[in-house]
Amino acid sequence: MRDKTETMQQWLVRLEWLDRWGYITAGLSLLILGMLIFAQSWITFVLTTTKTGLLPAGLRLLNDLLLVIILLELFRTVVRFLQTEVLALEPYLAVGIIACTRRILTGSAELSHLPQITPELFNRYLWDVGVNVAVIMVLVIAVYVIRCRSEQPPATPTP
């Protein structure tokens, strides 16, 4: 019986080691991908500004930079988890807020470059913006609630 327990403990130690390395490689991948997208975005911006104009190139750069921020926030979350072994909810809410903002900007950029906007397309755009704004509001309220809860001192048991 004792041998089975020791064998199981050895397997658990190995699995925890693999788990930690999985997080490390995923985090490094997020960081490298973010840096590559950042560099490629600026190169594309410089090359396309003269062809398409500043506004379209700038909107695309802004969209790409928001994606880089999302990747960096996820990288930071992985690093924090490796340091504390506590998975925090707030960074994921921030990623959701950034992603919705990015979608609103992308949608408006796409709409502004169409030669003709049909009422149906404009209606779909308004619904998309409305849903994204609603999601942003819910996520902001969730961040507020989480911060308020973390500021409260822990309840002491009454005798």
Question: What string of pLDDT tens digits covers the 159 residues of the chain?
Answer: 567 888 888 888 889 999 999 999 999 999 999 999 999 999 999 999 999 888 888 888 988 999 999 999 999 999 999 999 888 888 889 999 999 998 888 887 777 777 788 888 888 889 999 999 999 999 999 999 999 987 776 666 555
∠ CA 99-101-104 to the nearest 5 degrees?
A: 110
User: Within this chain, do residues 67 and 106 fall inside the same structural domain, yes or no?
Assistant: no
Q: Are 67 and 59 in contact (CB under 8 A)?
A: no
User: Within this chain, do residues 59 and 107 fall inside the same structural domain, yes or no?
Assistant: no
Name the residue range of residue 114's domain.
89-153
User: Within this chain, do residues 82 and 100 fall inside the same structural domain, yes or no?
Assistant: no
User: Within this chain, do residues 60 and 113 fall inside the same structural domain, yes or no?
Assistant: no
- The burial of 77, by beta-carbon neighbours within 10 Å (0-12 exposed, 13-18 middle, 19 or more buried), is given as buried
User: How much is the pTM?
Assistant: 0.74
User: Within this chain, do residues 55 and 119 fall inside the same structural domain, yes or no?
Assistant: no
The residue among 56, 86, 116 that closes a domain is 86
User: Within this chain, do residues 66 and 16 fall inside the same structural domain, yes or no?
Assistant: yes
Domain count, the chain: 2
The residue among 86, 117, 142 that closes a domain is 86
